[in-house]
Every structure is written in structure tokens, then in C-alpha cells.
Amino acid sequence: MKKLFALLLAGMMILSLAACGAKKEEPAADSDTAYVKANGKIVVGITDFAPMDYKEEGSDEWIGFDADMAKLFAEYLGVDVEFIEINWDNKAMELETKAIDAVWNGMTLTEEVMKLMGTSEAYCNNGQVVVVNSAVADQYQTAESLSELSFAVENGSAGAEQLDALGLEYTALQTQANALMEVAAGASDACVIDLLMAGAMIGEGTSYPELTYTVQLNSEEYGVGFRVGSDLVDSFNAFWKDAYKDGTVMEVATTYGVQESIIAK
């Protein structure tokens, strides 16, 4: 009796292992657009990133330039939109495993991103800027002067790439906001973040009035990421062109103060 039970248990364990290994027979992903339409919703992976994707105090709705445009894109596809706050480090895996259908969150089109995702045409200009305490800002107005600073930067971000290119050491953190906190707390002398974010989050009238930005290290562009080879990329590009022509894009951009960065189509 006991042995039988033991055998049964062992059998179950092996079976469950085998079940893990079984491959599901599925034709290679054909149309991503069809997949999204069948689901009735497009799942957009975001982080809390003003002014692109954020929530107003006391509200549960995601707004921002990217969030509002994502809603319009969903409407264009005839589906609902669902926003999911993801861990930014895992964005490629989230897409690949269909946990989300798009990464739409002020994402810089780096070589790495374009390799891992099917990316849209660029829609917004951005740059990486150096943020320091305003008391010392005048000493660090050139790229050459930066070598004596200790840096904080978001892990794997475009800012980290710039610092790598300059051969500067840095501490890698989970988010750009964490990098800002490092500087505010005095743990690092400076951080490198997106120009758009710096414009919205530091300086007078913001939460970090004592910080300011100095050198712009590069210029770059934002795009939306889909799965590799996804036909949603074409849908998106067509949608964006129309939305730009009829003025919708600029209208939404003006609401969130990013109109100067929008790329003309």
C-alpha cells in the first residue's frame, strides 16, 4: 500500500515534469494584429514616467502623451487598451512572452532595443542630459569637466550607454527616478536622464528644486516597441501619419508640453 502510494507520487512528479517539457504545436505567429483583435484589447507595457505615462493625484487613469496616443491607437484598431506597469528591465521578455503587446513609454530607439523588438518609426526627439545640483552647475558645462563627478544612471538605459562611451564610471540603478534620488540625497554627484524627463521633474516648482541640468550628451529618438516581425508596426506607422496630418498628435503633445520635441511626419 505504502509503496504503491510512493510509486504514484513519483509517477505524478515525473508526469508534471514531462508536461513542462511538452511543446505546444502552434503555427509560427502570423498576424499580431489579428491576435490583438481576437483578444479585444492591446496590452501596453509602461512605467510611471511623466509626462509620457503617469497618473494624476488621486486618479486611477493613466494619462500622458504616450498613454493618450495609445488610447487613440487602440481606438484605431477597434480594441480596448490596457496599461500594465512593468519592470522596465524585463520589457523584451514581457513582449516576447505576450504578457504585453507593446512597449510605449518614451522608449529610446537604441541599437539594443531595435534588435530585441519590432520598432516603429521615431515620433519624438529626446536627448540625455547631465543633472547636477544647481550650486555647482556652472563648473560642469562641458563634457570634459564631467570626469571628476560620480554618476548614477538607470541600468541599461540610453544614459548608461552615453557614460560608457565617455568611459565614465557610474552606479546603475533600477529607474531614472532612483538616479535622481541619488543626486538629491548626495549619494552621487550627478545623474544622466532623459531631457524630456528632466524638463518635467527638476528645477523650480518641482519636487527637486535644487537640481538642474547642464550638458546634453547626445540626441536620440523615441519609438514604440512591438514583437519582432509584428505587423502592428505597420499599423502604427500608418496610424501615426494620419494622426499627425489631422493635427491630433500636436494637440495631445501640447496638452503635456512636449510639442517642441515631436518629429514632423
Q: Which residues bind other proteins (CB under 8 A)?
A: 3, 6-7, 9-10, 13-14, 20, 22-24, 26, 48-50, 54, 84-87, 89-90, 93, 96-99, 174-175, 177-178, 180-181, 184-185, 201, 206-208
Smallest separation (angstroms) from other proteins to the CB of 242: 32
To the nearest whole angstrom, how small is the minimum distance from the Cβ of residue 184 to other proteins? 7
Closest CA to 35 of 236, 231, 239: 231
- Closest to other proteins by CB, 208 or 213: 208
Partnered with residue 85 across adjacent β-strands are: 46
Handedness of CA 53, 54, 56, 61 (dihedral sign): positive
- Least distance between other proteins and beta carbon 248 (Å): 27
- Other CB atoms within a 10 A radius of the CB of residue 238 amount to 11
CB of 82 to other proteins, least distance (A): 13
**Sign (positive/negative) of CA torsion 84, 88, 89, 94?**
positive
Q: What's the CA gap between 129 and 146, in Å, rounded? A: 12
> Judged by CB, which is closer to other proteins: 71, or 227?
227
Q: Using CA atoms, how far apart are residues 64 and 158, in angstroms rounded to an integer?
A: 21
Nearer to other proteins, 12 or 165 (CB): 12
Q: For other proteins, which is the closer residue by CB, 74 or 86?
A: 86
